[in-house]
Amino acid sequence: MEVLLSLVLISLIVLFLSLAGTTIYNSYVNNRQLEFNKAYMLSNLEIDIDSISAMFDMLVNDCFMEYLLFNPIDEDVYINAEKEREIITDITSKVIFRLTNEILSKLSLIYVINSEEELSDLVAIKVYIRVTDFVVSHNTMKQ
């Protein structure tokens, strides 16, 4: 009786280990297949860098225009560095809030984005360029 119980117990352990091993192996194979499929699709994908960049620029510009709509700046007011930083911070927050997964996936095709910090840096650079261009033209017209 004890021998039979031991054999059943050993059989169950072998069966469990076999199932666990098969599950782990299948998971590994599936992950490798997904990586291969993704790499294959990306290698055959035509990336329109100009349209992705234009889409990103349009998002930044829309947030910039919305900021100016709700926070108008008088023509005779000089925009100092502190105000410029405030504008950049507000617009950067708006852009990041409006980024969708679709936009992020498109941006990751042309930019290296591995973390939220890198995404914030990318958005901040785009916003900085747009706001600085506005500030320079605004302050030049004032003089």
Per-residue pLDDT tens over the stretch 79-122: 899 999 999 999 999 999 998 888 888 888 778 777 788 888 88
Do 68 and 127 lie in a common domain? yes
How many CA within 13 A on the CB side of residue 140?
Answer: 6
**pLDDT surpassing 80 at residue 55:** yes
Do 60 and 77 lie in a common domain? yes
The pLDDT > 90 percentage for the chain reads: 33
The answer to whether the Cα torsion of 44, 45, 50, 52 is positive or negative is negative
Contact 106, 67 (CB under 8 A): no
**pLDDT surpassing 70 at residue 11:** yes
User: What is the per-residue pLDDT for 45?
Assistant: 61
Contact 110, 47 (CB under 8 A): yes
Do 101 and 58 lie in a common domain? yes
- What is the tally of structural domains in the chain? 2
Residue 70 CA to residue 57 CA, distance in Å, equals 20
Q: What is the pTM of this model?
A: 0.64
Do 34 and 54 lie in a common domain? no
Range of the domain at 95: 47-143
Do 66 and 52 lie in a common domain? yes
